[in-house]
């Protein structure tokens, strides 16, 4: 493809695309660091063991996502830095609202936490998919592979959360009445 013959690190070095790439890396680096903390809060708030376990596992993976982004910055000769990601800040605010507005030990709480977590995963999937593409077009192969590894983990987490929701949480939540307090069905 003609476009591939034009790509190289030397061309990418001062390109507008590299500037955009770094800006987006800083955005997701901020988001991942916030998510480590947010997932800990969601883990503590979750009702059922499978969801707590899913959040615990993904919190560990998210710590690796932070490290992997630092490796991406290093691989392109940039210092790891953050810029606030308003989108992820909003998604985390929503998760906190769900915790505030649902009863502890309810299936409604878990159903809400899964929605919030999947919103975060979908944002990450969009970001990592795009960044892996940009890395490839600029010839940043190491960065592309690192970003692709994280992308696969985000997709697997999203799938796993869907399975947990379908395996009983959503059904139990639909049986809970509005005036039920702290019932686990
Ligand atoms: Fe992540
Ligand atoms: Fe994630």
| Per-residue confidence (pLDDT) for residue 185, from 0 to 100 | 41
Gap from CA of 183 to ligand 1 centroid (Å): 32
Gap from CA of 116 to ligand 1 centroid (Å): 14
CB count within 10 Å of CB 145 equals 15
How many Å apart are CA 9 and CA 4, to the nearest integer?
Answer: 12
**CATH number for region 8-175:** 1.20.1260.10
What angle (nearest 5°) sits at the alpha carbon of residue 55, between those of residues 160 and 143?
75
Gap from CA of 124 to ligand 2 centroid (Å): 6
Domain residues of the chain, as ranges? 8-175
CB 166 within 8 A of CB 81: no
Q: Under the phi-then-psi rule, with left for phi > 0, alpha for psi from -120 to 50, and beta for the rest, what region is 118?
A: alpha
| Per-residue confidence (pLDDT) for residue 179, from 0 to 100 | 67
Helix axes 107-137, 86-101, angle to 10 degrees: 170
Q: Ligand nearest 119 Cα, by number? A: 2
CB count within 10 Å of CB 147 equals 27
Q: What is the pLDDT along the chain (185 residues), one digit of tens a residue?
A: 444 444 455 667 778 999 999 999 999 999 999 999 999 999 999 999 999 999 999 999 999 999 999 999 999 999 999 999 999 999 999 999 999 999 999 999 999 999 999 999 999 999 999 999 999 999 999 999 999 999 999 999 999 999 999 997 777 777 877 766 554 44
| Per-residue confidence (pLDDT) for residue 5, from 0 to 100 | 45
CB count within 10 Å of CB 21 equals 23
| Per-residue confidence (pLDDT) for residue 176, from 0 to 100 | 79
């Amino acid at each position: 493809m003609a476009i591939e013959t034009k790509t190289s690190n030397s061309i990418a070095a001062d390109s507008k695309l590299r500037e955009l790439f770094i800006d987006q890396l800083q955005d997701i680096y901020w988001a991942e660091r916030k998510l480590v903390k947010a997932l800990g809060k969601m883990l503590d708030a979750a009702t059922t063991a499978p969801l707590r376990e899913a959040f615990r596992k993904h919190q560990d993976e998210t710590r690796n996502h932070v490290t992997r982004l630092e490796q991406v910055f290093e691989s392109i000769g940039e210092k790891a830095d953050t810029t606030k990601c308003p989108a992820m800040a909003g998604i985390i605010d929503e998760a906190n609202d769900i915790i505030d507005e649902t009863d502890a030990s309810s299936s409604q709480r878990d159903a809400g936490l899964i929605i919030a977590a999947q919103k975060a995963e979908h944002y990450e999937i969009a970001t990592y998919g795009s960044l892996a593409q940009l890395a490839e077009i600029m010839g940043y192969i190491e960065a592309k592979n690192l970003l692709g590894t994280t992308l696969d983990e985000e997709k697997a987490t999203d799938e796993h959360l869907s399975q947990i929701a379908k395996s009983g949480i959503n059904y139990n939540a639909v049986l809970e009445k509005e005036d039920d307090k702290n019932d686990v069905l």
